[in-house]
A = this chain, B = another copy of it.
Amino acid sequence: AEVKKIAVIAGDGIGPEVVAEAEKVLKRTEELFGYKFETEHALFGGIAIDEKGTPLPQETLEVCQKADAVLLGAVGGPKWDNNPKELRPETGLLGIRKALGLFSNLRPAVVFDCLKDASTLKPEVLEGTDLIVVRELTGGIYFGEKYRRDTEQGQEAVDTCAYNVSEVERIVRQAFVIAQKRRKKLASVDKANVLETSRLWREVVNRVAPEYPDVELEHVLVDNCAMQLLRRPASFDVIVTENMFGDILSDEAAMLTGSIGMLSSASLGEGSFGLYEPVHGSAPDIAGQNLANPIATILSVALMFRMTFGYADAADAIEAAVADVLNAGHRTGDIAVDKSQAVGTKEMGDLIVAAI
In angstroms, how far is the closest chain B Cβ from the Cβ of A113? 18
Report the separation of the CA atoms of residues A193 and B147 in the bound assembly, to the nearest whole angstrom.
14
Known contacts A94-B194, A146-B195, A251-B224: A166-B153 contact under CB 8 Å: yes
Instruction: Tell me which residues across on chain B come within 8 A of A255, comparing CB atoms.
Output: 226-227, 230-231
The answer to whether A251 touches B231, judged by C-beta atoms less than 8 angstroms apart, is: no
Counting CB contacts under 8 A, is A254 at the interface?
yes
In angstroms, how far is the closest chain B Cβ from the Cβ of A187? 15
Counting CB contacts under 8 A, is A356 at the interface?
no
**Interface size band for A:** 35 or more
The answer to whether A161 touches B141, judged by C-beta atoms less than 8 angstroms apart, is: yes
Contact of A164 among B94, B153, B160 (CB under 8 A): B153
Contact of A226 among B125, B147, B157, B251 (CB under 8 A): B251
Known contacts A223-B251, A230-B252, A256-B230: A200-B125 contact under CB 8 Å: no
Copies of this chain present:
2
In A245-296, which residues have CB < 8 Å from any B CB?
A: 245, 247-252, 254-256, 260
The answer to whether A160 touches B158, judged by C-beta atoms less than 8 angstroms apart, is: yes
Report the separation of the CA atoms of residues A147 and B128 in the bound assembly, to the nearest whole angstrom.
42
The answer to whether A153 touches B125, judged by C-beta atoms less than 8 angstroms apart, is: no
Instruction: Tell me which residues across on chain B come within 8 A of A146, comparing CB atoms.
Output: 195-196
Known contacts A194-B94, A230-B256: A154-B141 contact under CB 8 Å: no
Report the separation of the CA atoms of residues A300 and B120 in the bound assembly, to the nearest whole angstrom.
30
The answer to whether B200 touches A148, judged by C-beta atoms less than 8 angstroms apart, is: yes
